[in-house]
């Protein structure tokens, strides 16, 4: 394989004939190279955007003392440039983590920037709802987003209540 950008990386024989460079507002940078041999090479760079929305670093026990260490409740939110089903609409992928002495429970949500919920997935019991599924959201989860940030999985009882 040749490292010369003017030579085709697939066959090593074709020469670069044209390039198209796109910078999209969602942070994607796409370089498409066309070679005389007929091969095409696409380079895609995506800028990741991470927002940590809420985190509680200490937990108080009944005696009133604070326990330091890993947070009991975490919310990690990532902004993705384009949705698979609707590339023009941005989505927030959010992970709600609940830690207790026994395990860490994770509930994932995918929500459009407009606020419409697209997907909820309880990683503990693999309970899942998507917007285009046949089941109603109310039969799988109790979901009060974004007002109270309360999610309850009706299959295993995993609860995130902030």
Number of domains composing the chain: 2
Phi first, then psi, for residue 47 (nearest 5°) are -85, 125
Q: Exposure string (b/e) for 60-98, b if CB count within 10 Å is 16 or more?
A: eeeeeeeeeeeebbbbbbebbbbeeeeeeebbbebebbb
Express each pLDDT in 110-123 by its tens digit: 888 888 889 999 99
Q: Are residues 105 and 129 in the same domain?
A: yes
Task: pLDDT band for 154, please (50, 70, 90 cuts).
Answer: very high
Q: Are residues 26 and 66 in the same domain?
A: no
Express each pLDDT in 57-71 by its tens digit: 444 555 555 555 555
Q: Are residues 35 and 71 in the same domain?
A: no
Distance CA 8, CA 14 (A): 5
Answer yes or no: pTM beyond 0.85: no
Q: Are residues 59 and 25 in the same domain?
A: no
């Amino acid at each position: 394989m040749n490292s010369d950008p003017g030579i085709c990386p697939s066959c090593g024989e074709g020469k670069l004939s044209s390039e198209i460079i796109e910078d999209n507002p969602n942070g994607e940078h796409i370089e498409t190279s066309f070679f005389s041999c007929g091969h095409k090479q696409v380079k895609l760079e995506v800028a990741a955007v991470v927002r940590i929305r809420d985190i509680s670093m200490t937990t108080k026990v009944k005696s009133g003392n604070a326990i330091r260490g890993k947070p009991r409740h975490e919310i990690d939110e990532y902004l993705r440039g384009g949705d698979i089903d609707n590339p023009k609409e941005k989505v927030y992928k959010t992970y709600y983590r609940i830690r207790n002495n026994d395990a860490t429970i994770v509930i994932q949500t995918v929500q459009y920037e407009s606020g419409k919920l697209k997907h909820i997935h309880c990683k503990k019991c693999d309970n899942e709802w998507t917007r285009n599924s046949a089941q109603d959201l109310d039969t799988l989860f109790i979901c009060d987003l974004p007002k109270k940030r309360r999610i309850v999985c009706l299959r295993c009882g995993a609860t995130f209540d902030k």
